[in-house]
């Protein structure tokens, strides 16, 4: 209620769709920064999240824009500390540029560029590095038998041996597919706190899986 600024993700993410109006109602003077301003959203591959893909932070290139939007908001409410915010912003943007280059170089030699993930949250990541994301989740639920069979066939056709899953999801369906393709289930986290190290971990896991 006392915050001067709120940085919203700005894509159609469920939390903000449900709660942002309520947050604004208790603090109408709060500056709301739209982190997605200036970004080109892509279509969601998740039937449970129709419309535009909300997972914009899983693109390092998107996050550079988001960081600049947050910095501009901080300068707007606290202009006396402009230099401090802008210096920190510039330093972090340099780190993100290096991260993007590292991931791009790491994945550049990968020949099999398709990966299977239970919840299709990595559309922006796949776009940035010319990968193909195949989702397991069906309309926000565990997939039915027919859908599982098609995924198993697709995995075999694409020589895929790893099923990725986020920590918050049940691994049952992923394990069924992994067993059928003589593969394994690997956890990747779209929401880990340390952004740079997590994105490097995701890239390394994908590279090891796709080789």
Per-residue pLDDT band at 48 (split at 50, 70, 90): low
CATH value at residue 37 = 3.40.50.1980
Same domain (yes/no): 182, 195: yes
Other CB atoms within 10 A of residue 57 CB: 21
Rg (CA), the chain: 19
User: Domain check: are 79 and 131 in the same one?
Assistant: no
Report the pLDDT averaged over residues 42-70. 91
Domain of 139, in residue numbers: 110-210
Q: What is the pLDDT of residues 5-38, one digit of tens each?
A: 999 999 999 899 999 999 999 999 999 999 999 9
Asked whether residue 200 falls in the same domain as residue 159, the answer is yes
Q: By percentage, how much of the chain surpasses pLDDT 70? A: 95
119 has pLDDT over 70: yes
Residues 147 and 86 in one domain: no
Please check whether residue 177 is in contact with residue 116, taking contact to mean a CB–CB distance below 8 angstroms: yes
Residues 119 and 203 in one domain: yes
Phi, psi torsion values for 164, nearest 5 degrees:
-90, 145
Chosen domain end from 105, 128, 148 = 105
**Mean of the per-residue pLDDT values of the chain:** 92
Is residue 89 domain-shared with residue 122, that is, in the same domain? no
> How many domains does one find in the chain?
2
State yes or no: pLDDT of 134 exceeds 80. yes
* Same-domain check for residues 75 and 154: no
């Amino acid at each position: 209620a006392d915050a001067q600024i709120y940085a919203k993700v700005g894509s159609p993410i469920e939390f903000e769709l449900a709660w942002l109006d309520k947050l604004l109602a208790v603090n109408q003077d709060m500056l709301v920064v739209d982190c997605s301003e200036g970004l080109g959203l892509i279509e969601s591959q998740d039937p449970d999240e129709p419309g535009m893909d909300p997972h914009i932070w899983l693109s390092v290139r998107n996050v550079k824009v988001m960081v600049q939007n947050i910095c501009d908001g901080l300068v707007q409410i606290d202009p006396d500390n402009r230099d401090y915010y802008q210096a920190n912003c510039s330093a972090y943007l340099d780190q993100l540029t290096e991260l993007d280059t590292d991931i791009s170089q790491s994945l550049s030699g990968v020949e099999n560029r398709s990966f299977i993930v239970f919840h299709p949250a990595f559309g922006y990541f796949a776009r940035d590095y010319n990968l193909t994301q195949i989702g397991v989740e069906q309309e926000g639920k565990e997939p039915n038998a027919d859908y599982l069979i098609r995924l198993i066939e697709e995995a075999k056709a694409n020589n895929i041996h790893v099923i990725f899953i986020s920590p918050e999801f049940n691994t049952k369906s992923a394990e069924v597919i992994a067993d059928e393709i003589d593969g394994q289930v690997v956890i990747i986290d779209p929401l880990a706190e340390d952004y740079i190290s997590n994105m490097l971990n995701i890239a390394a896991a994908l590279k090891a899986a796709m080789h």
